[in-house]
Structure 1
Amino acid sequence: MHDNSLNFTFPLEHVSFQVSMVSTGRMVQSIPAHAHGRGCYEIHYIRYGSGTVVIDGVPRRVGQNTLYTTGPSILHEQIPDPSDPMVESCIYLRVFPDFEKTERGSSHARRRKDSKRASFLTPFLEQAFWMGQDTQQVLPLFDTIFQELEQKKPGYRPLLSALFQQLIVCIARNYLETEAYYPVPENGFEDASGDSSLSLIVEEAFLNEYRTITLERLARRIHLSPRQTERLIRQYYNSTFLKKRTEARIGAASVLLKTTELPIGEIAEMTGYSSSEHFSYAFKTYTGMSAREFRRKSSSEAGPHPFSENVF
């Protein structure tokens, strides 16, 4: 199941949450490295199976009952084990903490009203990445959410909003039992207002259409002008359209270099480059090494247990 057309907004203490996507299923292909924009989070629960999640270049093994959250600016890649691919449930949302205007009244001069508030949500809001074993029984909540979305019985929308609230509470409780991994960047919420569906459309375009996506095509999809779309990307990611597309293409190429023996010229074509030379230049500029060096390095690090961290 994959539904990216949701729009569930609900308050929880001093925070507003907006859920725009849920999905569940077996991960049969690797997902290239990508990062979420300001205020955006993806919550992942591994039902069973195993694999590796690469967080900002650091590989971490995951297995049944692993819960992890990837927040603003965290570059992450997901690699299922071929013999036992992971089955994952996922929810995508944006967070809107309360703001108050300063004396100048400018949106660029806002500060968070909750900056000094004590809250059980604080660990969630202040961490851009968290991983651990679920101790709060989130799986039954995921199951009920998917059931309600499929059946759409009378009253399912208010019930789903309540279920999403309960899910966030349980996830936040998991955070309280472990130490922080990565803090959210200081600007992780600034200018993060807007519709979460737009950020999801942008992220899915780069993730799934890196080969063919153009600024004009993306602009038409989100009903903005190219200039407004470029501004939106800068606002969400502190980046440009071309940089985000290059990031997506190189991420996809890295997966193919690590997991296949395809010729580099074929990988260049598959990821949207007009020639092997253009691809090689872009890959070395982005990663600091040639595609061949990257493949050799990845091959030498691979093995029966390629990563040092154990499955939970």
Structure 2
Amino acid sequence: MTFPPSLPALDVEHMQMHAAVGGLRLNVLYIRSGTFLQSMPAHAHSGKSYELHYVPAGRGQLIADGVRYPIGPHTLYMTGPDIVHEQIPDPGDPMREYCICFEALPAGEHADPDSSAIAELFLRTAFWHGTDTQQLSDLFERLSREADLQSIGYYMSIRSLVEQIVIAAVRNYACNRLSAHAAPQKTLDDKRLVLIEHSFLSASDTLTLPGLAQTLGLGIRQTERTLKQHYGLSFTQKKRQARLSAACSLLVTTTLPIGRIARRVGFATLESFCTFFKKATGISAGEYRERRQEER
């Protein structure tokens, strides 16, 4: 698609981009925006190509396969393979349009059920016209900024935004119907890793190896092996690390006396805490607090 004479704010044509949405593989041919100052002649796309049109402002008419449709602010329309269409702007309020053209192919047999449902709905909707309900303006504005600024990671961000825009289009087709399929659940190993993180953060003062093993549903040796695998530390080393982190945080974020901090992180005496802290950091707890307060 070539826009009539205008000043396009977005033109992503030479960037090679492949995206994936559910059970769809997308080969993005171009992304553009512009203001229609004259009519776009009737045309159609190739047998695998879809063109997503979003009009954030302005007015006009769309003629698709001989049928006229109104175009106004927040109009979304999709023109798929072999859909002959032309756009006619309102001379007094010419429409602005974002446009993404891509080839769309099924991802294959290994897509999950929800992904397959997205692909099926998309591929069988060769034409759709309606008012956007998914805040596409925000997504396209973010895409424009990414393309303009080209900050680190902009290519990945643009690809992600294209995927979100296509999902938003499908949600418009489906009138926001709920997914019929649950999201994949964490593996048991991942759940245990979350429990380990939570245990050391919330109970580093009282946590014991048998207690952690019971929480994880593992034996003591298995628990030790799990800690070694994920952190490269024994239980004792990991507990010391957690207690030191908790102590440092309390020293910086509170005005608690050092003796109370020692008890809060599980030390029976101030002396044992001070010995532990200086050995771990090279300075006393009081010096640590002073230095960090100066930095802040």
Residue in 1 that maps onto 2:55: 46
Q: Secondary structure at the match of 1:52?
A: strand
- 1:38 deviation in Å? 1.4
Q: Quick one: distance in 1 between partners of 2:131 and 2:115? A: 27
- 1:116 deviation in Å? 12
Residue in 2 that maps onto 1:174: 172
- 1:113 deviation in Å? 9.0
Contact 2:147/2:154 (<8 A) preserved? yes
Q: CA 1:65–1:116 in 2, change beyond 3 Å: closer, same or farther? A: closer
Aligned with 1:5 (options 14, 20, 37)? 14
Contact 2:55/2:75 (<8 A) preserved? yes
Q: Quick one: distance in 1 between partners of 2:54 and 2:20? A: 23
Q: Quick one: distance in 2 between partners of 1:177 and 1:60? A: 19
Give, as a single letter, the amino acid of the residue that structure 2 aligns with 1:10.
A
Q: How many aligned positions are there?
A: 168
Contact 1:123/1:172 (<8 A) preserved? yes
Q: Quick one: distance in 1 between partners of 2:114 and 2:36? A: 40
Aligned with 1:77 (options 83, 86, 94)? 86
Q: Quick one: distance in 2 between partners of 1:115 and 1:126? A: 16
Contact 1:121/1:172 (<8 A) preserved? no
Q: Quick one: distance in 1 between partners of 2:159 and 2:44? A: 26
Matched, 1:162 2:160: yes
- 1:13 deviation in Å? 2.4
Residue in 2 that maps onto 1:144: 142
Q: Quick one: distance in 1 between partners of 2:82 and 2:114? A: 24
Q: Quick one: distance in 2 between partners of 1:47 and 1:80? A: 13
Q: CA 1:16–1:78 in 2, change beyond 3 Å: closer, same or farther? A: same
TM-score by length of 1: 0.50
Contact 2:23/2:119 (<8 A) preserved? no
- Aligned identity (percent) is 37
Matched, 1:64 2:73: yes
Give, as a single letter, the amino acid of the residue that structure 2 aligns with 1:82.
P
Deviations 1:68-89 (CA, angstroms, capped at 9, x unpaired): 0000000000100111111111
Contact 2:22/2:116 (<8 A) preserved? no
Considering only CA atoms, is the larger Rg found in Structure 1 or Structure 2? 2
Deviations 1:228-258 (CA, angstroms, capped at 9, x unpaired): xxxxxxxxxxxxxxxxxxxxxxxxxxxxxxx
Residue in 1 that maps onto 2:28: 19
Residue in 1 that maps onto 2:126: 128
Structure 2, unaligned stretches of length 5 or more?
A: 1-8, 177-296
Deviations 1:33-62 (CA, angstroms, capped at 9, x unpaired): 000111111111111111010001111111
Question: Could you list the runs of 4 or more consecutive aligned residues of structure 1 that deviate by over 3 angstroms after TM superposition?
Answer: 112-118
Aligned with 2:95 (options 71, 81, 86)? 86
- 1:120 deviation in Å? 2.9
Give, as a single letter, the amino acid of the residue that structure 2 aligns with 1:177.
C
**Alignment map for 1:209-228 (pairs within 5 Å):** none
Q: Secondary structure at the match of 2:118?
A: coil
Q: CA 1:89–1:116 in 2, change beyond 3 Å: closer, same or farther? A: closer
Q: Secondary structure at the match of 1:17?
A: strand
**Alignment map for 1:137-286 (pairs within 5 Å):** 137-177=135-175
Q: Quick one: distance in 2 between partners of 1:35 and 1:14? A: 25
Q: CA 1:156–1:115 in 2, change beyond 3 Å: closer, same or farther? A: closer
TM-score by length of 2: 0.53
Please report the RMSD computed on the Cα atoms of aligned residues, expressed in angstroms: 2.5
Q: CA 1:3–1:158 in 2, change beyond 3 Å: closer, same or farther? A: closer
Q: CA 1:117–1:144 in 2, change beyond 3 Å: closer, same or farther? A: closer
Q: Secondary structure at the match of 1:120?
A: helix
Deviations 1:113-132 (CA, angstroms, capped at 9, x unpaired): 99998513422211110011
Contact 1:120/1:173 (<8 A) preserved? no
Contact 2:65/2:85 (<8 A) preserved? yes
